[in-house]
Amino acid sequence: MEFFHIILLSIIQGLTEFLPISSSGHLILAPLVFGFEDQGLALDAILHLGTLLAIIIYFRDDLSKLFFSLFDRQADPSTRKLAVSILLASLPAGMIGLFAINYIEVNLRAPQFVALNLLVWSLMFLIADRSSAREKTPRIELSNLTLGQVMLIGFAQAIALLPGTSRSGITIAAGLFSNLSHTTAARFSFLLGTPIILAAGMHSLVSWISHPEQHHIYNYTQLGVGFLVSFVVGFLSIKLLLKIVARVGLMPFIIYRVILAVFILGYFRS
């Protein structure tokens, strides 16, 4: 694979992992549209780990407090409750991914399936976005989420295993339905994404290690470039998403998703 393709995929991963436009959908489409081979397990793992580092660096203070609160009896109860909420909300995606990820990767990667999910979940994002804008009741904080609301967001994240959905988009939408503000829902989405992105990266890495025939596809320089680009772009896209959702909500991303879905259906109509 040429360096241009690696950089392109790294930029796509860095942007779409956090923007609510579906990273899996874009990574499926890119090789088909630009005519190059599938990126393979090694690059897939490295790109996930690059975006994981972006979250860790950006939310380093929050993540540090959440992690140590699980082992410190003197920790702030609201911080410990949030840490437990993130662990609980990670379970549905973790369990479903464990048993269904191979089926999804083999059977649900068709461009038309991606387009359908882009359209269906764009409608859901629109309903959540507009409902939140009209809601007049005070917004709750993350520490006030009930167990039911936490699990709603967790099961929403599990749905994002379907290509074309968007993990960030569907968890933000579930957060809006749970009466979080746009900014707070986006923040929880990022914090919640840390375990699942780590799991995805580790899954790809272990799969690559267990397939020796793929070890020759990339050299360390290529993997290093992919990691660095996905990290930098991912870090910038976190800042971009937080600014956009605070000012105008999800609408710009909904419009993009619909346009992309129409393009896919037209491009792959045969």
Distance CA(264)–CA(259), nearest Å, equals 9
Average pLDDT over residues 202-228: 76
Average pLDDT over residues 48-52: 90
Count H helices, E strands: the chain? 11, 0
Helix, strand, or coil (residue 35)? coil
Averaged confidence pLDDT in the chain: 89
pLDDT of residue 249: 94
**2 contacts: CB under 8 Å, gap ≥ 6:** 36
The ranges assigned to domains in the chain are 3-267
Which range (25-29, 53-57, 78-82, 246-250) has the least confidence?
25-29
- Tell me the whole-structure pTM to 2 decimals: 0.91
What size, in residues, is the chain? Answer: 270
CA distances, 137 to each of 118, 131, 188 (Å): 30, 12, 20
pLDDT of residue 257: 95
pLDDT of residue 46: 84
pLDDT bin (cut points 50, 70, 90) of residue 38 is: low
pLDDT of residue 39: 64
